A and B are shown apart, each in its own frame.
Chain A
Amino acid sequence: MKELVLIFISTVLINNFVLTYFLGVCPFLGVSGRLSSAIGMGFSVIFVMTFASSIAWLVYHLILVKLNLIFLEYIVFILVIASLVQIVEMFVRKYSPPLYRALGIYLPLITTNCAILGCALFMVAKNYNFLEAVIYGFSAGLGFTIVLLIMAGIREELTYCQVPKVFRGAPITLITAGLLALCFMGFSGLIRA
């Protein structure tokens, strides 16, 4: 139990996917302009990442390792993620139209979110068992969402600020992200290695 809590805290706050591994920076910069779209994207990512991490664990340990096909890891993982996103999209559209209206447009974008593939690769590299892999996927998604929401809040405020012309748009967003990363480094003392 203690292990799981440690994985949760360290993945959400200390080794945050966006701010320390730079995974998922493209959607992070892309959809953090408005709070409403950030919420939609964030929850889609939590959802897909939890599933992707669990299914990638099953595929890796039950199929690739058994058949000695580890060199196919990358190709198989990307296929798993792409088809998973498709299935989730179809499932949500059929069974929960309100959820589909909220998340619909973000789901296809997730295939190319490097955080999902990164999560699957890290999960294998860290040699987690199944339960740990599920928790890892969930907390990585949650960490992404928290940072995305904070960023969206800051950027909504930024629209009222007088930013120097050359810094408008991408530069000021990147620098804000840098300051946010600096803040998150304050969490690094939470767990002693």
Chain B
Amino acid sequence: MGSRSFKEGLWTNHPIFRQLLGMCPTLAVTTTVLNGISMGLAVIFVLFFSSLVVSLLRKVVPYQVRIAVYTIIIATFVTIVDIFLKANFPQVSKALGPYVPLIIVNCIILGRCEAFASKNKLSLALLDALGMGVGFFWGLVALASVREILGQGTILGYRILPPSFNPLVVMILPPGAFLVLGSLVAIMNRLERVK
């Protein structure tokens, strides 16, 4: 049971490629791999601690106000991440811009709190949060790698394609995000069918 809820998020029920949740940070910050990694880590942190608190409070929170309570819990952790980034990594904070506070309305986090953490005991809730978080993380890194390689010919700032390669600037512009994500989802569908 434990390992299954961990694997769900990593592959079978992947938050980005299967459930199409959390689209806004997925598409917006994946212009470079570094941004993808920072956003992924921020989401893992918020998801983990929100699931922890929600799971611990699951018998205390009245049913009618649960969504409001979960949102406030999530907003608290997002504020912590935002202040931490501003103080210690001002450049990352600047690159991610408004997409850090927008983690609050990332449907993955509220979705997991509501669908899983509020109904399961602490250990399972944490495993589920980690699975979904890591799944989201690798999804972001995959998308960002394709976009950075095709759009700038670099990965994490290191040039890997020869200078003669003419970068496809559209890949790091907004349309590229939609096109690459669409293709990646199609590839995932194909892989699933082969199995």
Contacts and interface: CB of A to CB of B under 8 A. Distances in A.
B24 A23 contact: yes
A142 to B, nearest CB: 19
B163 interface: no
A90 interface: no
B50 to A, nearest CB: 13
A167 to B, nearest CB: 5
Contacts of B67: 82, 111
B147 to A, nearest CB: 12
A78 B79 CA distance: 12
A112 interface: yes
Interface residues of B, number: 41
B177 A166 contact: no
B104 A117 contact: yes
B75 A74 contact: yes
A22 B23 contact: yes
Nearest to B102: A114
Given A166-B186, A175-B179, A181 B174 contact: yes
B170 interface: yes
Contacts of B21: 26
Contacts of A29: 20, 23
Interface string B73-85: 0011011001100
Contacts of B173: 185
Contacts, number: 116
B161 interface: no
A74 B183 contact: no
A75 B24 contact: no
Interface in B10-35: 20-21, 23-24, 27-28
A56 to B, nearest CB: 12
Interface in A54-84: 71-75, 78-79, 82
Given A19-B174, A25-B27, A181-B178, A170 B20 contact: yes
Interface string B171-195: 0011111110111011101100100
B106 interface: yes
Interface string B104-123: 11110010000000000000
B60 interface: no
B105 A114 contact: yes
Interface string A148-179: 00000000000000000111001111110111
Contact of B98 (A72, A118, A174): A118
A113 interface: yes
Given A73-B101, A78-B105, 18 more contacts: A22-B23, A29-B23, A74-B78, A74-B101, A75-B76, A78-B104, A79-B68, A112-B105, A114-B102, A166-B187, A170-B182, A171-B186, A172-B182, A173-B182, A175-B183, A178-B175, A179-B175, A185-B173
